[in-house]
Amino acid sequence: MPGANLTREEAQERKSIVKAPIHYAVSLDLTQGATDFGSTTTITFGANTGASTFLDLIADDVTSITLNGKELDPATAYRDNRIELAGLLEHNEVTVTARCQYSRTGEGLHRSVDPSDGNVYLYTQFEVPDARRVYAVFDQPDLKAIFEFQVLAPQSWIVTSNMPVTSTQDVDHITAEGTLGDHSAESSRQWTFEPTPVMSSYLTAICAGPYAQWHTEYANEDGRTIPMALYCRQALKDALDKDADYLFDITKKGFAFYAKTWGVPYPYAKYDQIFVPEYNAGAMENIGMVTIRDQYVFESKVTDAYAERRVVTVLHELAHMWFGDYVTMKWWNDLWLNESFAEFMSTLATAEATEWHDAWATFSSGEKSWGQAQDQLPTTHPIVAPINDLNDTYVNFDGITYAKGASVLKQLVAYVGRDKFFEGINHYLNKHAYGNATLADLLAELEQTSGRDLKAWSKQWLEAAGINTISARVDENADGTIAALTLDQSAPAEHPVLRPHRLAVGFYNENADGQIVRTDRFELDVTGEHTTVEEAAGKKRPAFILVNDDDLTYTKLRFDAQSLEFAAENLYRFADPLARSVVWLSLWDMTRDGEFPAERFINTSLDALATEHESTTFRYALAQVSTTAHHYVVPARSADVAKNTAERLWKLAGKAQAGSDEQFQLVGAYLTYGVEGDERFRANAEGLLDGSVKLEGLDIDNNMRWTILKALAGVNAIDNARIDEELAKRDTTENREFAYGARASRATAKAKAWAWDQALHNGDLTNMQLEAVAAGFASTPREDLAKPYAAEYFNQVDWVWEHKTFHMAEALLEGLYPSYADPAELVRLGDQWLSEHADAPRALRRIIIENVESSRRVLKVRAYNEAL
């Protein structure tokens, strides 16, 4: 399978040929204009004498290739994004010179122009393997090498990379027209960086541009002083300046927490965090220089959930410096070793080392709900996923790899004990420092420290797909005491694995203040189909029995009938945020499984929102209520339920504490429920915009203003001219994205046709603008507007896959799915496409299967609610 893809077998074969030490000298010329940049790479490496292999490179123009002193003809040596290297010696040197292309999709070397000041910003994004878009490389994680970077850039820019700068030198060279956007040409400067430690190519990085910067230091546990820096666009300088000290503080707390927990100090020479525009991920763990989406620089008010998520993200990427960078997976099937561990550790660090003490409730509501939903799709896979090629890797950045994996690691800590777990991690990191490792390597260390046989545990938890369900069954004595409390475990037929669980069972009752609090707790091992909670026998039955108290394990929950009824009526009175989150997630899971009435879930959730203060739980509950109202409620009732939900959200916003996170979230949620002709909604939205309707403490800042404008566009209360007028007042990167989204949200056939065409065919859109258009297109809850695109969507799938990069194809195929069309028709068309494309790439089929499955679930849940 030649080309941009790479199979595991090809990677293994190349690994058997190419020998360490491997060294790269990479020289980039960023002064050549707005579309291309120069790339020259010299690689020295060992090899099996006489063998042949290949380099990876994605470039429009390869100008020269020299292998061991011999010139190769690029016209024959470079094909299908590969450079053929034949007749290798024991020691080899190859030099490749090429003109590579800047991207606007967040892949490779992305080029962004800030419309507010004309400044140009560059940054790299190389995961999965996109270093090959910037320089010639053996682009696979187990061919670690030393890298030396040299970069020619405009004199006014700064350039950063994985390592500190060794020297800069002004050069008598004028930048080409267009390099600096609308700014005048200027002289150039050459930046030279220290050699890296041995590392994987996907973790190398370059950023360049007139970034604003902040600096501090950290006294590392090994006695070294670690330089630290923050960077962002000049347009965001004032906003980041307010948070710079806080972000440095969070990062330093992470350094200390991880070094103490694992017994391994931070291993690299520096630590930069650079906030970059138009990023197609949350952040990336480049060694010594983490790139982060600059939506995490807060110019406008954000939810507490998003502010907490920024902290978790900072600590997630920092955790990767050890787990993923210092020790790296051999192949992408162990991607979870990176992501699950970083997600688990960042939540642990957030809860124990920062002010966000309820981070595990956040994890339950957010990450875990994502993992459970993913795990119930036909495309679910083991945490250790089978990765046959690079395309498989792309779609495995999912709820299994991140959220389920982190949940299972939390369960593993409970299973083996925290001290033994981290002792094993210490041994693992020290044993495989600067190298590559596998799941077997990790388990070997954990087995040795814990004394537990983890091979069977791994087969059940990491190497088998699917999720278990644990149900509580209560037998009572005549006096109201418990005769027997039994936990019944089941598994789906397609994944019939019963797992061992270390969990807790909590008894909850009302206290003197009317709150529901825990009054007893039992921790035990659950195995097989039936487990008796011995300690519960003879105790008075509580008002509510919470299986998986403290959320120690990963499972679906089904409460006994009495507890279920109590939870549905009293969720809002539960005092502990983690307990509320666990109960709420179970009610949601039952709702989307067609086992709990949709309208009752909405009412229970709205009641609970009146007293909920954990921001992520609040955020996810709002999203679940919206999905239920717009998709799961009986169609004949959907409009009335949505209108009633909107009215209750507005009332809750009016009663919320002035300026609170709850008020902010409630107003934002309310603004998504508009329908054309609802004059009260229009009056409220317009009133918020012009100041005639006021909610004390609610600031109509830039982002809230655009939220209101998008809501008005969605009910056709404003036209494109008004959107353009608003954008002209403050033309920024962010506001252009908001404007695209607002235009695409207009509830007219013409607007949807425009949005569809722009998303598919406007090659000038950045990745973030494309996503905004797609989201606006799909946001209108009207079947008549979505109906024309049901068949058209499936007609365009092949074209999108063929003509777009993977990330853009994924964004289009997920974002443009017309979910408000008739679900039965979407299922029919989707099943037809799948039957006709049995041989389509696995990654493409997975996207389509998951879209169609969402419509299939809508049909199932609606049928349940219609039968009530």
Q: Output phi, psi for 648, to 5 deg.
A: -70, -35
Least Cα distance to 704 among 310, 309, 302 occurs for 302
The single-letter code of the amino acid at 390 is L
pLDDT tens digits, 133-188: 999 999 999 999 999 999 999 999 999 999 999 999 999 899 998 999 888 889 99
**What's residue 1's pLDDT?**
28
- What's the DSSP call for residue 364? I
Catalytically annotated residues? 317
Range of weakest confidence among 104-108, 569-573, 833-837:
104-108
The single-letter code of the amino acid at 791 is A
Distance CA 453, CA 455 (A): 6
Q: Output phi, psi for 210, to 5 deg.
A: -85, 55
Least Cα distance to 414 among 311, 562, 554 occurs for 554
78-79 and 82-85 beta bridge pairing:
antiparallel
Note whether 189 and 155 are within 8 A (CB).
yes
Beta strands in 126-203 (DSSP E): 146-154, 158-161, 165-174, 187-193
pLDDT tens digits, 275-296: 999 998 899 999 999 999 999 9
pLDDT tens digits, 483-540: 999 999 999 999 999 999 999 999 999 999 999 999 999 999 999 999 999 999 999 9
Least Cα distance to 379 among 861, 835, 851, 857 occurs for 851
Note whether 731 and 745 are within 8 A (CB).
no
Q: Output phi, psi for 147, to 5 deg.
A: -120, 135
Q: How many CB atoms lie within 10 A of CB 169?
A: 10
Q: How many CB atoms lie within 10 A of CB 535?
A: 15
Does residue 2 register a pLDDT over 50?
no
The single-letter code of the amino acid at 326 is Y
Note whether 841 and 801 are within 8 A (CB).
yes
**What's residue 704's pLDDT?**
98
User: What six digits make up the tokens of 512?
Assistant: 């003197």
Averaged pLDDT of the chain: 96
**What's residue 3's pLDDT?**
55
544, β-bridge pairs: 508
Q: Inter-axis angle of helices 702-714 and 679-690, to 10 degrees?
A: 150
Q: Which residues contact 842 (CB under 8 A, 6 or more apart)?
A: 388, 391, 392
DSSP-derived secondary structure for 86-105: -S--SEEEEEEEEEEE-BSS
Note whether 142 and 15 are within 8 A (CB).
yes
Does residue 31 register a pLDDT over 90?
yes
Task: Answer left, alpha or beta for residue 528, where phi above 0 means left and psi between -120 and 50 means alpha.
Answer: left
Distance CA 56, CA 650 (A): 55
pLDDT tens digits, 377-424: 999 999 988 889 988 887 778 899 899 999 999 999 999 999 999 999
Edge-to-edge order in the sheet of strand 53-56: 53-56, 82-85, 78-79
Burial letters for 758-794: b for 16+ Cβ neighbours within 10 Å, e otherwise? bbbeeeebbbbbbbbbbbbbbbbbeeebbeebbbebb
Q: Output phi, psi for 429, to 5 deg.
A: -65, -40
3-class secondary-structure state, position 354: coil
Rg of the chain, C-alpha, whole Å: 28
Note whether 306 and 292 are within 8 A (CB).
no
**What's residue 293's pLDDT?**
97
Note whether 460 and 447 are within 8 A (CB).
no
Distance CA 118, CA 332 (A): 39
**What's residue 195's pLDDT?**
98
Q: Output phi, psi for 558, to 5 deg.
A: -130, 120
The single-letter code of the amino acid at 590 is M
Task: Answer left, alpha or beta for residue 697, where phi above 0 means left and psi between -120 and 50 means alpha.
Answer: left
User: What six digits make up the tokens of 168?
Assistant: 């800069």
pLDDT tens digits, 296-345: 999 999 999 999 999 999 999 999 999 999 999 999 988 888 899 999 99
Note whether 594 and 410 are within 8 A (CB).
no
Distance CA 704, CA 302 (A): 9
> Once rounded to an integer, what is the mean pLDDT over residues 809-829?
97
Least Cα distance to 807 among 752, 834, 847 occurs for 847
pLDDT tens digits, 266-277: 999 999 999 999
Enumerate long-range contacts of 800-809, CB under 8 Å, 24 or more apart.
800/760, 801/840, 801/841, 801/844, 805/103, 805/105, 805/107, 806/107, 806/391, 806/394, 806/843, 807/105, 807/106, 807/107, 807/280, 807/394, 807/767, 808/105, 808/767, 808/770, 809/844
Q: Which residues contact 349 (CB under 8 A, 6 or more apart)?
A: 253, 254, 257, 258, 315, 319
Q: What percent of the chain has pLDDT over 70?
A: 100
Range of weakest confidence among 378-392, 667-681, 717-731, 798-812:
378-392
User: What six digits make up the tokens of 659?
Assistant: 């300026």
**What's residue 631's pLDDT?**
98
Given 3-state DSSP classes, what are the helix, strand and coil percentages for the chain, each rounded to the nearest 5? 45, 20, 30
**What's residue 812's pLDDT?**
97
Distance CA 513, CA 307 (A): 31
- Place 426 in a pLDDT band, splitting at 50, 70 and 90: very high
CA 739 to chain centre: 24
pLDDT tens digits, 432-458: 999 999 999 999 999 999 999 999 999
User: What six digits make up the tokens of 621?
Assistant: 């509950």
Please provide the distance, in angstroms rounded to a whole number, between the alpha carbons at the two ends of the chain: 52
DSSP-derived secondary structure for 248-317: HHHHHHHHHHHHHHHS----SS-EEEEEESS-SSSEE--TTEEEEEGGGS-SS---HHHHHHHHHHHHHH
pLDDT tens digits, 228-262: 999 999 999 999 999 999 999 999 999 999 999 99
> Once rounded to an integer, what is the mean pLDDT over residues 50-58?
97
Q: How many CB atoms lie within 10 A of CB 831?
A: 14
The single-letter code of the amino acid at 751 is A
Does residue 198 register a pLDDT over 90?
yes
